[in-house]
Amino acid sequence: MKNIKNMKNMRNIKNMKNIKNIKNMKNMRNIKNMKNMRNIKNIKNIKNMRNMKNMRNIKNMKNMKNMRNIKNMKNIKNMRNIKNMRNMKNMRNIKNMRNIKNMRNMKNMRNIKNMKNMRNIKNMKNMRNMKNMRNMKNMKNMRNMKNMRNIKNMKNMRNIKNIKNMKNMKNIKNMRNIKNMKNIKNMRNMKNMRNMKNIKNIKNMRNMKNMRNIKNMKNIKNMKNIKNMKNMRNIKNMRNIKNMKNIKNIKNMRNMKNMRNIKDMRNIKNMKNMKNIKNMKNIKNMKNIKNIKNMRNMKNMRNIKNMKNMRNMKNMKNIKNMRNMKNMRNIKNMKNMRNIKNMRNIKNMKNMRNIKNMRNIKNMKNMRNIKNMKNMRNIKNMRNIKNMKNIKNIKNMRNMKNMRNMKNMRNIKNMKNIKNMRNMKNMKNIKNMRNIKNMRNMKNMRNIKNMKNMRNIKNMRNMKNMRNIKNMRNIKNIKNMRNIKNMRNMKNMRNIKNMKNIKNIKNMRNMKNMRNIKDMRNIKNMKNMKNIKNMKNIKNMKNIKNMKNIKNMKNIKNMRNMKNMRNIKNMKNMRNMKNIKNMRNMKNMRNIKNMKNMRNIKT
């Protein structure tokens, strides 16, 4: 059949099996129900094929070639089960092709527009001037894509490999299994790019989202204006990345390794869930970093300056000028932080564990608004720290100075050389506090053990609930201890002097070895004092009143130099005071009434 022209109204054509050499078919309109066209070859110059419907079960169109000037194939529907279209070449100027499947080895598709719903397309090469591929979905197994220039609006493309020279790719979504993308420029609004590998020379990538399992991005340069990079996991070997400016909203970046020469990350904002970032050397000028969350296993970050709002850092050496750091939560394993200076406005530091070797921390002057510092374990060698307010749950703090308004320090241990701690509250489980001075308004200090060498403690007001305090040796110059209650199991309080204005002491059980206590004035309401021994050098106990119901004061010995006990009244029911000896120099015991049943008083 040759030179067929102007075919119209060909309906219900069936069984066109052995048709060959159809040429110059023009104006074929409204052709319906063409079935079983098997061996069609050499179709040329077909134009204006409209309204092709219900072309089902077309198989074995193997040797179709030279379909050059096919235009206006509109409204083609229900082309099902098209298979084995292998050797189609030179398809130019094809527009509006929908629902095409299994097109292998297609070349030179230059001016194809509006290709929608193309599935399972493989081996498409030399697609240069493809434009407006907007609603392409589920494109799987597209291999060897080359020379795709000027492609725009490719959404929902999957499994594309070996793409080169891509320009102006806007609004591309769901590119999951893309590999070997070279020389791609101006890729904007990329989403769901999961398995991208070997990406080289990519420039001006904007609005990248959901980039998972990206590896081997070696030679990427000049990544400017990247915004909204979310879900970037397993990115490795980003070596020569430079000049990453204006990066915003980077989330879920895990397993970042070998980021060596990154510089000028100035305007990075909202970096969340960055885990396992290693080997970030020579990073400078990270100024406006905000809202960085869950940064784990940060190692070898040297020479970092101006890092604001960063969390979960490790091995931060030579970090300077961390001024406006806020909201540092879940920071773990911060080791070897040397030469940190000027950390001023740090707030909300939670879960800081295993912080070691913080030496030479200076000029932490204005750390006023530190709140909610919980679970800070194993803090060692924090020297010359001043003005830390509202710190909670700190352990092993040595050489702390000028700590004012400290509250809720429950699990603090091994605090040595601490000075000027005012307004301390809720200090439970504190051990080994040496050389503490100026502790005011201390409340709720429970389970304090091994308080040795606490000299020159002044102005301890409102001390309450100090239980299980042992081994308080060499404590001198304790003044103004008002409202102290519930001091149980106090042992080995030696060399305590000048305890004035102590009122309302209750439940002082198991007090032992209180030597050299002088000037206990204005002590009232002393009840339940059991097992007190060796009160030798107590002097000047004036105005002691209302010592009622003191029972079982056994084995009190050697009360030698008791003087000036005035106005002691109502000492009733003092039973079983045996073996009291050597009360030699008791003077001026006036107005003592109703002392009954005192046996075995000698000398």
Rg (CA), the chain: 43
DSSP 579-592: --B---S----TT-
What pLDDT, on the 0 to 100 scale, is given for residue 258? 60
- How many other C-beta atoms lie within 10 A of the C-beta of residue 597? 10
What pLDDT, on the 0 to 100 scale, is given for residue 553? 44
How far apart are alpha carbons 72 and 84 in whole angstroms? 24
Buried b / exposed e over 389-414, threshold 16 CB at 10 Å, is bbbbbbbbbbebbbbbbbbbbbbbbb
How far apart are alpha carbons 142 and 154 in whole angstroms? 13
Q: At residue 193, what is the residue type?
A: M
- Which of 512, 502, 500, 519 has the alpha carbon at shortest distance from 561? 519
40 CB-contact burial (10 Å; exposed 0-12 / middle 13-18 / buried 19+): middle
How far apart are alpha carbons 202 and 550 in whole angstroms? 87
499 CB-contact burial (10 Å; exposed 0-12 / middle 13-18 / buried 19+): buried
Tell me the C-alpha to C-alpha distance, in Å, between residue 537 and each of 18, 130, 560, 562: 127, 101, 7, 7
- Which of 388, 390, 476 has the alpha carbon at shortest distance from 435? 476
- Tokens 């979310």 map to which residue? 230
Q: Where are the beta strands (DSSP E) in 309-377?
A: 316-317
Strands 316-317, 301-302: pairing is parallel
What pLDDT, on the 0 to 100 scale, is given for residue 556? 47
How far apart are alpha carbons 402 and 420 in whole angstroms? 5
- Which of 159, 47, 54, 143 has the alpha carbon at shortest distance from 95? 47
What pLDDT, on the 0 to 100 scale, is given for residue 133? 65
- How many other C-beta atoms lie within 10 A of the C-beta of residue 508? 20
- CB-based contact 316:338 (threshold 8 Å): no
What pLDDT, on the 0 to 100 scale, is given for residue 242? 58
- How many other C-beta atoms lie within 10 A of the C-beta of residue 182? 16
- How many other C-beta atoms lie within 10 A of the C-beta of residue 340? 20
DSSP 420: -
Q: What are phi and psi of 93, to 5 degrees?
A: 55, 35
How far apart are alpha carbons 440 and 167 in whole angstroms? 69
585: left (phi over 0), alpha (psi -120 to 50) or beta: alpha
Q: At residue 466, what is the residue type?
A: M
**Mean pLDDT, the chain cut into blocks of 10 residues (603 residues total):** 58 58 58 50 55 53 56 56 55 59 58 60 62 60 62 64 66 66 65 62 59 58 56 59 59 59 60 59 57 54 57 58 53 54 54 56 49 56 55 58 61 62 61 61 60 58 63 61 63 63 60 61 55 55 50 45 50 45 52 52 54
How far apart are alpha carbons 505 and 526 in whole angstroms? 6
What pLDDT, on the 0 to 100 scale, is given for residue 407? 62
Q: Which residues contact 51 (CB under 8 A, 6 or more apart)?
A: 29, 30, 31, 32, 74, 75
- How many residues comprise the chain? 603
What's the per-residue H, E or C state across 121-169? Answer: CCCCECCCCCECCCCCCCECCECCCCCCCCCCCCCCECCEECCECCCCE
Helix-, strand-, coil-residue percentages of the chain, each rounded to 5: 0, 15, 85
